[in-house]
Structure 1
Amino acid sequence: MSTKPKLGLFDLTMIVVGLVIGMGIFRTASDAASAAITPGVFFFAWVAGGLVALCGALTYAEIGSRFPVTGGYYKVFAECYHPSIAFAINCIILISNAASMSGVALIGSEYISQVIFDVEPTATTKAMIAMIPILIFYGINLMGLRMSAKTQNVLMIIKILMLVLLISSLFFTIGKDTPASAVAVTTTYSWSDYIKSFGVALIAVSFTYGGYQQTINFGDEVENPRRTIPRGIFIGIILIITLYLAVSFAYYKAIGFENLKTSRGIASIVAEQMFGPTGRYVASILLFIAVLAYVNVLLLSNPRVMYAMSTDGILPPAFKKKNEQKDVLTISLTAFAAIGIIVLFFAKTFDKILGFTIFLDCIGMATSAATIFILRKRTRHLDGTGIYKMAIYPVMPLIFIAAYIFVGISIWVSTPDLAWTAIAVFAAFLLIYFLVMGVKKKEIKGSLEKKETYEHHINQ
């Protein structure tokens, strides 16, 4: 009997890198710089974000090892918390994913706007442009068409090429007169200023480092997990930190720290520094294409998550509705695309979507990571059986949870309206759960009473 092939060190390392490196690095460096009062705070935020990601990835790896089920990232809530918490958190995770799709679509809108318009378009115009890829790929998926694996690989190829291009600018622009030579006004800051600045910068950094939580799904798929998981995650995160620092330093050298704070389409600006206006246009178009592929990936994957949640009874049965002829989850696909467009309609700017998304993530990340304390107690019998068990416990999960609480507080302080909106969404889903369960209990009670009445009449 053949054994199922398992992931080796290189496989797991590449999975971690692939999960984390998305489109954020081509935009969020500007947001982090805008929040950072000094270049030191800017670069320290990228290092700290990477270390938090390392703690989180190792925490999720052990959760996945102790609770190895398909779709573990959302099923672990039902295992460890009250069903109402599981329902509400899983729903806000889906909304966070839809908001991330909208945010990435806005990144693409900012880049392609440089090609279409001679002047900076309004936020409403950018939001309208961002809706186009969502609507296009919604229509494509609704017709049952699928992008091939080769087409989807375009996303990763473009990202890698752009990262290499941006890092190489450090060598191509040596000796050139770049904006980095501009000197900022010297200001004296207090410790509270540094802490607040670091917290707000970490919001953008957290968005860029997201994705490692999916390591929860590979706990039982790794060869020699005790050794391979920590090494693979450590190497992967170190590679990502190195890449992000190198790219951020390239932005810093090519654009200048003060200009980086207000610049949009930063990758294309660096390309223009190297190759002139043509390089800027080509980079803008390539990144917009990469955004199209990313939007399609989310529209392909998230409706299937909604289908799985409906199958498990977490979402209503309507989300299981499928067009059998075209193999399309019509209700789930429509709902997910609609959420993304609604977020764009109300938020319009990347900054607002970023704060809203990360605050929802703070709730999901902190509560999901905290399940490690529950699972460790419930699965003591698995210790010593070969599963992955992180070192320095409980320091790593505590650092991770504390970091996301800190980020959540930073969002609350800097943009309280976004935080209250996110809390209201979470509370609304809790209310929906109890209302639905109340209706179900009444229906069950009513059917039992009818049954008892019927049996009573029969007995008479």
Structure 2
Amino acid sequence: MSIIPRLNRFDLTMIVISLVIGMGIFANPSEVAVRAGSTWVFFGAWIFGGLVTLCGALTFAEIGARYPTTGGFYKVFSYCYHPAFAFMINWVLVISNAASVAVVAIIGANYINPVLLPADWQGPVGVKIMAISSVLILYALAFMGIKVSARTQNFLTMFKVLAIVVLCCAVFMHDDSHVVTTAAPHSGNLVTAFGLSLVAIFFTYGGYQQTINFGGDIIEPKHNIPRAIAIGIGVVILLYLSINFAYFKILGLGGLQQTTTLAAVMAGVIFGSIGSKIASVLMFVSVLAYINVNVMANPRVYYAMSEDGILPYIFRKVNPKTQVQEFGVTFFVLCILVVLFFADSFRNMLNYVMFFDTIGLSLAALSIFILRKRTKELDGTGIYTIKWFPLVPVVFILSYWFVTINIFYANPQAAFVCLCVFAAGLAIYYASVYLNKGKLPKE
């Protein structure tokens, strides 16, 4: 059975916000502070990252408007480049997105464990148990239906946004004395510090590109996809800059460098121990929102791959009542659990995840040049188009390539492993073509 559109613009706007605001903003500023080493680099990187993200959001808004389809992130590569290249990029992103969810689940567990579990369970084992439990809860929820998941998502997202706004406003009730004022300087030159700071920032800003995977779920996608992306990213940038200012005002750059549970520490400084616990619960709710939206989004890529005959039919099978890909959802959750079992370090995982993302996102954005030529008939029909073309996508693409180079320079072993994974995807594709023996749709 094919997917029936059931989500409106508000649903999609909430999805955009939740795809971006996971738990990264409540932990990654610490990583950025370590890599930046100075206040100017720290805030400059966040502002620059926001501008680049806006360029990317506008680019993907036009891509979604010109080519609205289920599993759009795969379909765009297949249409503009080649199905083999589409599979090579997207099979890696399946792993990358699963790793992203695992990272967020781990951060969430670090927040909630001190509130719920005794001291003996505060170590790595307790964190993994809580992270795995969170994923399984949302897995069960996903089977209730796409519309139920969307309504849950709307509630969790509004709750999350409200929590950030409250934290940002609360800092003005506190004086300017910091917990820690001495910051460790960055190692290396200023350009490297700036580039490595962007690794964590782009990870924190990422996720909105998955919005185009809902092309088949959205009512009037050519109008609602670009508007939802624009509104959602605007809200995200405003919230991110506000909460980073709040962190700095309360903790200072040195305090940012020394803790990953930033929101809980900041709330503890402002409201005391009770505030810290309340903030930890709020952050855990944010985790549930991020896991939920990814469990909704990623199986849609499997659907698109199955339509092309690369994955078996079972990945395309949709429950007619709930509109849930039951096997696809199960497969994605299993990928998350595998990553969680083998995850040792948030910082180490970040380099692998971002290398995948920077390459995949920059090449996806590059497709807008091809897509414009192949869909000229849509020009002048009222669909969204980028005003400052080609400047906007070029800024986004070059910025992500800059980050890719910095990752390679800082950790060539991680980059080499990631390139090997890309190559493995190409081999898997052609093995699938051979096994299907001509069952793939002709171009």
**Is TM more than 0.5 here?**
yes
Q: Give the superposition deviation at 1:81.
A: 1.1
Q: What is the 5 A alignment of 1:26-45?
A: 26-45=26-45
Aligned to 1:456: none
Matched, 1:430 2:426: yes
Structure-to-structure mapping, 1:164-175, within 5 angstroms: 164-174=165-175
Written as runs of structure 1 = structure 2, the 5 A alignment for 1:2-401 is: 17=17, 19-115=19-115, 116-118=117-119, 121-138=122-139, 141=142, 151-174=152-175, 177-179=177-179, 182-184=181-183, 193-214=189-210, 216=212, 217=215, 221=221, 237-320=233-316, 329-401=325-397
**Structure 1 residues 252, 106: closer, same or farther in 2, change over 3 A?**
same
1:328 deviation in Å?
A: 6.2
Deviation at 1:202, TM superposition (A): 0.8
Runs of at least 5 residues in structure 2 that lack an aligned partner in the other structure = none
Root mean square deviation of aligned Cα: 3.6
Q: Distance in 1 between matches of 2:439 and 2:372?
A: 38
2 CA distance for matches of 1:365 and 1:128? 32
Ranges in structure 1 where 5+ consecutive residues have no aligned partner: 445-460
For 1:457, the equivalent position in structure 2 comes to none
1:384–1:292: structure 2 CA closer, same or farther, 3 Å change rule? closer
Distance (Å, rounded) in 2 between the aligned partners of 1:375 and 1:222: 14
Structure 1: how far apart are the matches of 2:28 and 2:282? 18
Moved more, 128-137 or 314-323: 314-323
Question: Secondary structure of the residue that 1:404 maps to in structure 2?
Answer: helix
> What are the superposed Cα offsets for residues 69-99 of structure 1, whole Å, 9 maximum, x if unpaired?
3432221111011211111222222222211
CA contact (8 A) 1:24 1:208 kept: yes
Distance 1:120 1:411, change over 3 A: farther
Q: TM-score, normalised by structure 2?
A: 0.85
| Counterpart-to-counterpart distance in 2, 1:214 and 1:242 | 21
Distance 1:421 1:270, change over 3 A: same
| Aligned-partner residue type, residue 250 of structure 1 | A
3-state SS of 2:258 partner: coil
Aligned AA for 1:166? Answer: L
Superposed displacement of residue 26, structure 1: 1.2
Contact persistence 1:167–1:247 (CA under 8 A): yes
Q: 1:63 to 1:205 in 2, by over 3 A?
A: same
Answer whether contact 1:299 1:337 (CA < 8 A) is retained: yes
The question of whether the paired residues in 1 share the 8 Å contact of 2:146 and 2:324 is answered with: no
Q: Deviations over 1:338-369 (max 9, x none)?
A: 21122222233222232222211112101111
| Identical-residue share of aligned pairs (%) | 45
- Is 1:68–1:219's contact at 8 Å kept on the other side of the alignment? no
1:31-88 superposed Cα distances (whole Å, 9 cap, x missing partner): 1111112111111111111111111111112222332334322211110112111112
SS at match of 1:396: helix
C-alpha separation in 1, matches of 2:339 and 2:203: 17
Look up the SS of the partner of 1:370 in the other structure.
Answer: helix
- Tell me the amino acid that sits aligned with residue 287 of structure 2: V
- Secondary structure in 2 matching 1:256: helix
> Using the alignment, how far apart are the partners of 1:59 and 1:144 within structure 2?
30
